[in-house]
């Protein structure tokens, strides 16, 4: 028969700790244990009136103690703790990494500098303190490609980054400079009220997106085919140069995603405000060319209109859509065509719902002013709706 001698709880506790802990359980002293919060191994550097008995252990008299903890790459920690006699006091040592220093230069200068998505200044950027570790640096300058650099910043290190920025002008796009623009309709009764807004510069496609352009995205496997039949241009012979229509807002978004990936720059559908800025200029004209009604300038609902609601005195030569950009007089001084007529265009409003703007070959003069609002379900695929894209470097933020 074997005999087991029951041990007091305090003896069991003592046996479960490393040998140094045995010194903690006296009437006058307590034990201090430091637990590191990171893979870096921290060490006790000093205890005000105690004795270090291990890399992260100390014995100290009862009362207040100041301990100093060091860890590679971290700020030195000085902590005040209360030690109780015959007890273990646990201290969590949080590593505060020592900063790295970063300087950024670019040619041309005045590029906006972003580190891990947060703006930290503009070039030339003198030494600034930043958190160490893997980091993503981004430089943005209007008219140039976005420049991305991956960095691995070590604590206490100094890094100087010099970048040559590449000019970027999206092919087939027109740049509209920053301005204050008149947006909205004076007689909208609150639906699209007239107001003056300060708008940033942006690029907008000179023409509506064509069947041929959209087909590249379908071939790449990123876009799904538009609907067919009726006046849909997809699948119809001889309409590669016509605007792609019978696409939903979601399909238009997918095309913008594909262009963004291909170009390495952000593209998207225009907002309703950006559309109005493009169509009305900064002065708030009714149409891209001025205040005179379109007449035969654009492809609108005329005597050829299938719905028989058009202006019977006008014949623009097309019953449905026409090739994108074929109406030379249907443009403003900026050179952007078909912002009125041909196909209406998907836009996004501030509430993230969808509108179509500009009217189409199915709308008569009364519905073609640039401020006129059509709210449409984004899933609809209509032969009178297409789209074009805008490019704003700031969208990468």
Q: Which pLDDT belongs to residue 23?
A: 45
What is the pTM for the complete model shown? 0.70
Catalogue all structural domains in the chain, each as residue range(s) with its CATH number.
Answer: 9-93 (2.60.40), 100-164 (2.60.40.1120), 169-397 (3.90.1580.10)
CB-CB contact of 113 with 100 (8 Å) = no
Q: Which pLDDT belongs to residue 12?
A: 28
Structure tokens at 288: 């891209």
CB-CB contact of 393 with 271 (8 Å) = no
Q: Could you list the mean pLDDT of each consecutive 10-residue stretch along the chain, which spans 397 residues?
A: 32 36 59 79 87 88 90 86 89 86 96 96 95 94 90 93 94 93 70 83 96 98 95 96 97 97 93 94 89 87 73 82 95 94 92 87 82 89 97 67
What Å distances lie between residue 60 and 70, 77, 247, 255, CA to CA?
19, 18, 76, 69
Please count the CA atoms within 13 angstroms of the CA of 76 that sit on its side-chain side.
7
* The Cα angle at residue 60 between residues 55 and 61, in degrees rounded to 5: 180
Structure tokens at 8: 């007091």
Which residue in the block uniquely carries the two structure tokens 């300058």? Answer: 141
> In which order are the strands placed within the sheet that holds 158-164?
125-130, 100-107, 158-164
Q: Which pLDDT belongs to residue 191?
A: 66
Task: Read off the DSSP letter of residue 144.
Answer: B
């Amino acid at each position: 028969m074997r005999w087991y001698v029951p041990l007091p709880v305090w003896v069991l506790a003592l046996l479960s700790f490393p040998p140094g802990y045995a010194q903690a359980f006296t009437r006058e002293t307590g034990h201090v244990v430091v637990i590191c919060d990171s893979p870096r191994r921290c060490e006790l550097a000093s205890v005000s009136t105690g004795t270090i008995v291990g890399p992260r252990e100390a014995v100290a008299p009862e009362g207040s103690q100041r301990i100093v903890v060091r860890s590679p790459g971290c700020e030195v920690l000085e902590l005040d703790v209360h030690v109780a006699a015959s007890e273990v006091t646990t201290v969590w040592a949080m590593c505060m990494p020592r900063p790295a220093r970063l300087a950024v230069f670019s040619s041309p200068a005045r590029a906006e500098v972003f580190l891990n998505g947060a703006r930290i200044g503009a070039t030339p950027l003198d030494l600034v303190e930043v958190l160490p570790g893997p980091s993503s640096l981004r430089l943005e300058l209007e008219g140039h490609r976005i420049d991305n650099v991956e960095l691995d910043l070590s604590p206490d290190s100094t890094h100087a980054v010099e970048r040559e920025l590449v000019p970027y002008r999206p092919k087939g796009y027109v740049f509209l400079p920053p301005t204050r623009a008149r947006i909205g309709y004076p007689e909208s009764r609150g639906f699209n009220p007239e107001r003056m807004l300060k708008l940033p510069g942006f690029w907008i496609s000179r023409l509506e997106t064509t069947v041929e352009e959209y087909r590249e995205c379908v071939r790449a496997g990123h876009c799904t085919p538009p609907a067919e039949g009726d006046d849909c241009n997809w699948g119809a012979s001889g309409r590669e140069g016509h605007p792609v229509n019978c696409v939903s807002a979601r399909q238009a978004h997918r095309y913008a995603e594909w262009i963004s990936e291909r170009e390495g720059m952000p593209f998207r559908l225009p907002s309703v405000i950006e559309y109005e800025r493009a169509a009305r200029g900064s002065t708030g004209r009714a149409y891209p060319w001025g205040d005179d009604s379109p007449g035969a300038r654009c492809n609108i609902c005329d005597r050829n209109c299938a719905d028989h609601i058009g202006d019977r005195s006008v014949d623009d030569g097309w019953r449905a859509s026409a090739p994108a950009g074929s109406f030379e007089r249907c443009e403003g001084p900026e050179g952007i065509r078909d912002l009125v007529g041909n196909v209406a265009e998907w836009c996004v409003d501030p509430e993230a719902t969808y509108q179509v703007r500009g009217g189409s070959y199915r709308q008569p003069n009364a519905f073609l002013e640039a401020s006129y609002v059509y709210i449409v379900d984004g899933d609809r695929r209509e032969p009178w709706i297409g789209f074009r894209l805008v490019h704003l470097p700031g969208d990468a933020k």
